[in-house]
Amino acid sequence: MTTAQGVVLEHINQLIAYGQRVYDGDGNKVGTVERIDTKLGWMTVEKGAFVHHALYIPFSVIATIDKREIGLSVSKDDLLAAYTNPPARTTLVTSTEIPGTGTAEHMAVTTVPSGYTGAPVQVDRTNLDEIKRQIGVGMRVFDVYGEKVGTVDTYNTARDYLEVRKSRFLPHDLFIPMALVDSVDLYVQDVTLAVTKDHLRRVCIVQQENGAAPSTIVVPDN
């Protein structure tokens, strides 16, 4: 398989490495590789002197690669316009009746667009009923990369969300839907989410003033 630029994907997976220099389509340095996900086909280029935002770049725009550097097929302006946010994660909750029980099983399935083809790739499948039984107040909450988000302050079982109060890790109170929880570690009392902190920073769940169910708002990046 090859990218749109004709680069063999197997070569990318063999050669891509942390710390490689990355250049745009005009030969301008963009930064260096900070994170790599060869399964999904995405890399993160750290922010620095050349670009003031971290960039989340799909392998599909890699034009050239060797052990020292990566050349992209798009300009720095195009990168800043399209790739300053992590790839969008879509979570769909399904309900399936369990025969003979009169109850249903609720699953949250999360997908991310492939950095190779753009097609949705399943990255998480969580049994929400099991998660609900495990979560408790006081548990620490981490994003998908292991970065701390905060601590569970309130757990609303009726509305299926957990509340994380703002702190030095988080500038806003968050009402996080249960569907965004990936796993719960009962031994260390940790909750891991299926999304990044950047996703939470851009899209927060906030309580409405009239006490109705929380609503979604977009939070500016700065």
Query: What CATH number has the domain bearing residue 35?
Result: 2.30.30.240
Are residues 120 and 208 located together in one domain of the fold? yes
pLDDT at 59: 93
Range of the domain at 27: 9-82
Give pLDDT tens digits for 36-66. Answer: 999 999 999 987 666 778 899 999 999 999 8
Which position has the higher pLDDT, 66 or 216?
66
Report the number of distinct structural domains present in the chain: 2
Q: Given 82, 100, 133, which residue is the final one in a domain?
A: 82
**37 plus 103 within the same structural domain:** no
8 Å CB contact between 212 and 205: no
- Please check whether residues 118 and 188 belong to one and the same domain: yes
Are 175 and 75 contained in the same domain?
no
Say which DSSP state 180 is in. G
Task: Give 163 or 10, the one with higher predicted confidence.
Answer: 163
Between 99 and 38, the higher pLDDT residue: 38
Q: What is the mean pLDDT of residues 110-116?
A: 90
Is this structure's pTM higher than 0.75?
no
Give backbone dihedrals phi and psi of 133, rounded to 5 degrees, phi first. Answer: -75, -20
Kindly state whether residues 23 and 68 are assigned to the same domain. yes
Kindly state whether residue 3 falls inside one of the protein's structural domains: no
Q: Kindly state the DSSP code that residue 88 receives in the 8-state scheme.
A: P
Q: Tell me, yes or no, whether 120 and 200 share the same domain.
A: yes
pLDDT score of 220: 35
Do you know the residue count of the chain?
222
Q: Are residues 94 and 78 part of one domain? A: no
- In this prediction, residue 176 has a pLDDT band, given cuts at 50, 70 and 90, of confident
| C-alpha to C-alpha distance for 185 and 188, rounded to whole angstroms | 6
Distance CA 161, CA 9 (A): 40
**Do 39 and 110 belong to one domain?**
no
Query: What is the distance between the alpha carbons of residues 32 and 48, in angstroms, rounded to a whole number?
Result: 9
Considering the domain boundaries, does residue 4 fall inside one? Answer: no
Of 35, 65, 82, which closes a domain? Answer: 82
- Let me know how many helices (H) and strands (E) the chain has, helices first: 4, 17
Assigned domain for 2 exists: no
Establish if 1 belongs to a structural domain. Answer: no
**Are 2 and 63 in contact, with CB atoms under 8 Å apart?**
no
Contacts of 131 (CB under 8 A, 6+ apart): 178, 181, 183, 184
Q: Which residues contact 98 (CB under 8 A, 6 or more apart)?
A: 104, 105
Average model confidence (pLDDT) for the chain?
Answer: 80
| Inside any domain, residue 207 | yes
| pLDDT score, position 123 | 86
Are 38 and 147 within one domain?
no
Q: Are residues 103 and 192 in the same domain?
A: yes
Q: Are residues 38 and 102 in the same domain?
A: no
